[in-house]
Structure 1
Amino acid sequence: MTINEKIESDKIVLEVEGKVDRLTTQQLQDAILLALQKMRQLEIDFGGVNYISSAGLRALLMGQKTAQSKQGRMYLTKVTEPVKEIFNITGFSSFLEIQ
């Protein structure tokens, strides 16, 4: 998995590519938490992700809670159909902001 960070005027964008699984989740979690320390708005571009494990879901949950605790915002864009299906099945689509 690769993560590219872009800083825009009012937010950080993390472009994620590859599988988010038990081997790569820590990398995603660290990137999310670091981004939320820098800015309160975080966009995660999931256009290059076709699989996310339960460990990856946990990292997103932690990011969502961290953003809320800082009165910030974390949202996902370009979510692929396989990942949307996982979010729907697990109920994550009900509390993650997906555009």
Structure 2
Amino acid sequence: MEIKKEQNGASLTLALTGRLDAVSAPDLDKVVQNELGGITELTFDFTELVYVASAGLRVLLLAQKRMKKQGMMKLIHVSPDVKDVLEMTGFIDFLTIEE
């Protein structure tokens, strides 16, 4: 998976390409742990994300918990396949998803 970061002031966009699975989730976890200081708006751009596994969902959950304390988080451009996983796991109920 590739992670592209774009920061504009207190806003950070992470564009993910490929698969968010057990192999790639630790890379995203490092970004979430190390680069959210001072960020009040976190956006995950899933335009090029084709798959998310449980390890990836865990990282999204941790990011959501952190951003709930310091701002807001949203997902954009979520594919139908990834959205299905979010619905089946109940993540769709607490994540903000914009088209």
With normalisation by structure 1, the TM-score equals 0.92
Q: CA RMSD in A?
A: 1.2
Contact 1:4 1:15 in 2 (8 A): yes
Check if 1:64 corresponds to 2:70. Answer: no
Unaligned runs of 5+ in 2: none
Distance in 1 between the 2:96 and 2:35 partners? 17
Q: Distance in 1 between matches of 2:72 and 2:78?
A: 17
Stretches (4+) displaced over 6 A? none
Q: Give the aligned residue type for 2:86.
A: F
Aligned residue number for residue 98 of structure 1? 97
Q: Is the 8 A contact 2:14 2:44 kept in 1?
A: yes
1:87 corresponds to: 86
Pairwise CA distance, 1:33: 2.9
Contact 1:16 1:49 in 2 (8 A): yes
* Alpha-carbon distance in 2 for matches of 1:11, 1:34: 15
Looking at secondary structure, tell me which structure has more strand per residue: 2
